[in-house]
Structures are given as structure tokens and as C-alpha cells.
A and B are shown apart, each in its own frame.
Chain A
Amino acid sequence: MSATLDRPARFGAFVGRLLGGLYGAIMNLPERPMRAAQARLRDGRLGWLFVMPNLLVFAIFTFLPIVIDFWYSVTGGAQLLPGDRPYVGTGNFDSLLTCKNYLDPTTCERDLFWYGVWNTLRFVVLQVTLMIFFSLLTALVLNRKIAGRGFFRAAFFYPVLLSPVVVALIWKWILQRNGILNAGIQAFGGQGTDWLIHANWAFFWTVLVSIWGHMGFYTLILLAGLQAIPADIYEAAAMDAASPWRTFRRLTLPLLMPSLLVVFILAMIRAVQIFDEVYVLTGGGPGTATVYMVQFIYQTGFAQGVRQYGLAAAGSLLLAAVLLVFTLFQLRTMRRGAG
């Protein structure tokens, strides 16, 4: 054996043994304390031990900030430190909810908040519906015996990996006045337009771009759900000479319901909290046509020099409350349906 062949091989073996030793050490490290704990604690308490690290980080960096947020929502002033802020009780909430006509934001004290509310409502209804429709359709198509299924599956998933800012920049480039979309339309004899300067088109594009960026994720969840349905069920249905539509409605949909529910809840939560893509794509424009709830929070609490953090916090809590109620309602419906 020549020295040159030997050295990399020996180095590799050394590293391998090192890693193996490391792995063994980590695995064996908590053995003793765990057995000791097992001897002392009852079975249930052991669960707390495993949950503890996660709970600790969660408590400090997720839960505690939210508690501080509650404090922010009942205080006013422009100071950032919680201790420096004066208590105003429900002042922020009152201000947010003061409207002569709730349907017309121009009559509201906080018109930006209500623009956000109604825009978000429109957005969620349209986007979630379309998202589920296209995800389901794609999942159904992918569920067939297709050549290159893995490739197609991956292709739909690719945009999910991109950051929202990148997604928005990609589409902003396409939608430019001199962008490729207008060029394509012109090639077919049509007349391109300034897409993001018209309120309705800007809204439409925020819906489309967000679906583009997230559809793959939900497609895969639904695909998994479809593939979990055993094939014999369909055979049985075929033997009963059931019509295709009936099979879908009576058989597939109910069996797919758990996956559909997960997709629905996740999609709704994400749709309500949409911000990054839209902010980079339209900035909330034209005017306030695409200002959604989180942009209100961002603009009120961050983008101004005089931060109105109390208002922003109050707005976020109202948003979270509505979302929570809705989600719990959905979960309860599912539990009842499953039983």
C-alpha cells in the first residue's frame, strides 16, 4: 500500500471513529440521570422532562413576548421600554373600533386598520378558496399513474423554499410596465397594462403570487392524504357501479377530510398573516388597496418615527383572537365530524 492511498483512508477511519464515539457519548450521556429520574418520578412526570427544553425556549422567546404584548396593548405613548409606558386601559382598543360606518373605512378613526380588515377578509376568502382548489386539483392529478411523478411533485414544491421577499421580487420583475408579461400579451395582440397601479389588478396579483409561493406545500399534504386511502375502497365502489362524481363526494372527500382540514387551517392562518410578499410587491398600494392587517401592524408599530406600539399590539391581539376563535370552531367541527 502506498503512503498516499493509506493516509486519506486512515484519516477517514479516524473521523468515522470520532463521530461514532461522539454519537455514542451523546446517546449515553443522559442515560444515568434519566434512569435516576425514572426511579424517582412517576411515568407522567417524565413527560415534563422531555418537554422542558422546548417549553423553556418557548416560554422565554414566544410566550413572554406575547405577554409583554398584552401589556403594550393597554399602554400608550411612544416609549419602547414597557416600564416607561403610561397605562391607558382600553384606550387603544376603543380607538381601533371607533367607526361611524364599519363598512366604510373613511368614517373610522383608524382608517388604516379597517382598510386592513376588509382587504384581509377579501384576500382570505379568495386566496384560501383558490389555494385549496388548485392544491386539490394538482394532488388529484399527481395521484394518477404518471411518469416522472417525483419530478412534477418537486417542481410544484420549489417556490415554497424561496423567501417571500424573493418571491415578490421575481413577480415584480415580471409585472413591470416593460416586463415579460406585457410583452407576452402584446405578442398575442393584446395591450399590456400597468398591473400594480390598478387597485383590482394589484389585489388579484397579491392573491396569485401568494398562491404561487405556497401551493406546493398544501399539494403535498393533500397528496399524502389521497395516497393513504386504500385502493380496495375504490374497487368496492366500482363493483357497486357508483358514478364517478358520487364516488368522489361520498368516498374520497370524507376520507380526505382530515388532510383538507389541516390544509384549510394552515392556509387560513397564513393568509390572515400575509405581509412580506405583499409589502415588497405593492407596498400596500395603490393607495391602500392592498394594505392587509399585518401591514397595518408594521406601519403603525415600526415604520413611523413615533411608534404607536400600543395600537399595533392591540390590533395584533384582535387579529389573533378572531383567528383563534375561528380555528377552534373548525377543530370542534372536525372532532364532531370524525366521531
Chain B
Amino acid sequence: MIARMLMARRGRAGWDWTDWASYVYLVLGVILMFGPVLWLAVSSVKSQAGLDVFPPSLLPWEQARVAVPNQPSPLPLFRVTSGDHAGETLAQVRRIGLQAQLVSAIDPSQIIRMPTKDLQPEMRVHASWSNYSDLLAKFNFGLYFFNSVFITIVATVLTLLVNSMAAFALSKYRFKGREPVFLVMLATLMIPPTIVLVPNYLIAATLGLTNSLWGVIFPAVATPTGVFMLRQYMLTLPDDLLEAARMDNASEWRIYWRIVLPLSAPALAVLAIFSVMWRWNDFLWPMVVLSRSEVFTLPIALFSFQGDLQTQWQYLLAMTVCTLVPVTLIFIFLQRYITQGIASAGVK
């Protein structure tokens, strides 16, 4: 079946069952990839009570409230299920034990008492934007956003520059130690980053990079994955181009800047996107290095509510959506370049 799918690569007139199967598979895949994120977003505007409803609804339901004269805040509405007032919708003034005191919206002066078991909450659709506004009101969003953006952009530019220079050297020059350098870089991929956190901090502290955005930028610049990927791509660039340029008496820097870099654009685009993704989502290292709030990044600021939020899903969900919006926007605008870039940078 797989093989037949391959054979169909060149297209045929009319649809085959493999075509149907492919489309079904792809549509299911899209639902599976996007669905969970959409569900997260939908859930994030539900009120706390709405989140506990089972089975969960698509729309954000919450208990209706009505403003009643002489009451300081809107009262929750209930529908009476049995007894004298069955079928009526009443506002609950207070509840003591298993007895509730309610008033009618028409005649708020008269208090009606009945057991809570005869009451059912009256629900309405209402998006709970306070989940977001409460969060954003708590901290200096603009400053942390700027810090994150600064780190991301500067780190990405430096990463592209430094990694491409190294990849250029490792692919186009023959010098002793070329292989060992490359292998050592690759070998360091095997060490989980968690364990180098503390030594890295000690080094950063010695260099005076703590509590500085540069302390987050510099260590991130020499990514072995980036060098590996760029090197593989640059290996495919024909040497004659470089030779021709050398014969024209171009300096090596000119060759690198004017010829190699532009030709490596697809691979550079991929590295750029990954670098943006890594730096934007970075959490553990910035948290260790940055302890002053002026230099906090967005993920750190969002997680400062962690203790309080542990069981308040409505804030946790809103916070998660906040974290993924920037990345999603980049994705929407650049998705064509992302997928094209990886496809053409695919390791040969």
C-alpha cells in the first residue's frame, strides 16, 4: 500500500482509494495537531465554574447574574425545580446551610426561602476575559515582552553570524583539527542541558553576566545543532564558485558574505526560526541567571504566578495561551518559509 502511494506520486487521472486514504489521514492529522491547541484556547475563556462542568462544553457557560437594587453586587440566578415557585427564575441573596434566600427580580423586597436542592443554576454563555485581564494587570507586560524580544532578536542575529562562519570553515576549509572540532561539538549534544546549568551559572557569575540580558544571549550563541545543520548544507555548495571568486581576487570575507551566505539562505532561515523558538521559550536558564525583575523575560514573569495558580486552571490556561500566541503568529506569517527551508535544508 505504501509503495502504491509512492507510485501515485506523479499523479493520475481520477481518484484512487489511496487518494481518499491520504486525504483522510491528512485531515485527521490536522485535527490532531491543531485540535488540542484550539481546545486550550476555547477553554481559557471559561470561568472557573464553567471549567468544572462535565462533559465539557464548547461554549463558555457560566451562571447568569443579575443586578438587583439595594444589593452591592450582581446576584446569581437560579431556576426553581419544584415547590410553590417551580419554573420561576430567582436571584439568590444568600445561602445558609441547606437553605437559600431568594428574591424575584420583579419584587425584590420579598424574600423567598427554599431548600437548595430545589434550585438549579441558570446558565448563560459568557466569555470570561477576566482570566486574561487579571493576569495582564498583575505585571509589567510591556517591559518583559521587550526583554524577550530583545534577547530573541539579538541572539538570533548573533547565532546566525557565528554559526555560519563556523560552518563555512568546517565545510570549505581543510585544516588540521577540523574533524575533531566537529566531533567534539557533536558529542556535546549528548549531555543533557540540565546538568550544565550550575557550572554555566558559576562561569556567568565569574564573567559578570548575571542579571543582564547578555547573560542569556551569549551562552546561547554557539549551538552545535546549528553548526551541524549549516555545515551539512554548505557541503553541498559547489567549490568552483568559491574558486572562481578567489581567482577574481576576492577576499575570503567577501566570499563568505557575498556568496556563501546568500546561497545558504534556506538553511539560515531554518536556523533563524529554531533560534527564535528556542530563545523565546527559554525558561530554566533565564530563571537562574536573572533575579532582578527589570530583566525578566516573559516566561519567567508568567510563571511567577505558578504557586497561586496551581489549581486555578482558568489562569493557567490563559497564561499558556499568552505564551503560545507570539510563536503562533510567527508560524502563521512564516509557515511557508519554515517548511520550505527545512525541506531544502534537509540533510543530504
Contact = CB atoms under 8 A, between A and B. Distances in A.
Whether the complex brings A and B within 8 Å at their CB atoms is answered yes
B322 to A, nearest CB: 10
A313 B317 CA distance: 35
Interface in B229-258: 251-254, 256-258
Given A65-B200, A140-B2, A157-B339, A50 B256 contact: yes
Contacts of B53: 178
A13 interface: no
Contacts of B176: 44
Contact of A143 (B6, B19, B327, B336): B6
A162 interface: yes
A171 B36 CA distance: 7
A106 B170 CA distance: 48
A47 B346 CA distance: 25
B346 A297 contact: no
A313 B195 contact: yes
A65 B174 contact: no
A166 B192 contact: no
A173 B343 contact: no
B7 interface: yes
B276 to A, nearest CB: 9
A162 B327 contact: yes
A248 B6 contact: yes
A217 B341 CA distance: 12
Interface stretch (B98-106, B124-132, B145-153, B178-186): B178-186
Given A47-B173, A51-B181, A162-B327, A63 B194 contact: no
B320 A228 contact: no
A165 B283 contact: yes
Interface residues of B, number: 105
A88 interface: no
A314 to B, nearest CB: 10
A252 B6 CA distance: 9
B199 A48 contact: no
A275 B256 contact: no
A57 B162 contact: yes
Interface of A, helix, strand, loop or mixed by DSSP: helix
B49 interface: no
Interface stretch (A92-100, A121-129, A179-187, A196-204): A179-187
Interface string A265-286: 0000100010100000000000
Interface string A129-166: 00000000110111111100010111111111111111
Interface in B25-76: 25-26, 29-30, 32-34, 36-37, 39-40, 43, 52-56
A6 interface: no
A280 to B, nearest CB: 11
B348 interface: yes
A58 B185 contact: yes
A230 to B, nearest CB: 12
Given A44-B175, A155-B33, A166-B324, A66 B336 contact: no
Contacts of B331: 154, 158, 161
A238 B313 CA distance: 57
A101 interface: no
A327 interface: yes
Contacts of A187: 55
B32 to A, nearest CB: 7
Interface of B: 2-11, 19, 22-23, 25-26, 29-30, 32-34, 36-37, 39-40, 43, 52-56, 161-163, 165-166, 168-170, 172-178, 181, 184-192, 194-200, 202-203, 207, 218-219, 221-222, 224, 227, 251-254, 256-258, 273, 277, 280-281, 283, 299, 313, 316-317, 320, 323-324, 327-328, 330-331, 335-336, 338-339, 342-348
Which 5 pairs of residues, A with B, have the shortest CB-CB distance? A224-B346, A244-B3, A47-B173, A163-B281, A54-B166
Interface of A: 27, 30-31, 34-35, 38, 43-51, 53-58, 60-66, 68-69, 72, 80-82, 137-138, 140-146, 150, 152-166, 169-171, 173-174, 178-180, 182-183, 186-187, 212, 216-217, 220-221, 223-225, 227-228, 231, 234, 238, 243-248, 252, 258-259, 262, 269, 273, 275, 293-294, 297-298, 301-302, 309, 312-313, 316-317, 319-320, 323-324, 327
Given A43-B173, A170-B36, A178-B56, 6 more contacts: A34-B253, A50-B169, A66-B191, A72-B199, A173-B317, A316-B191
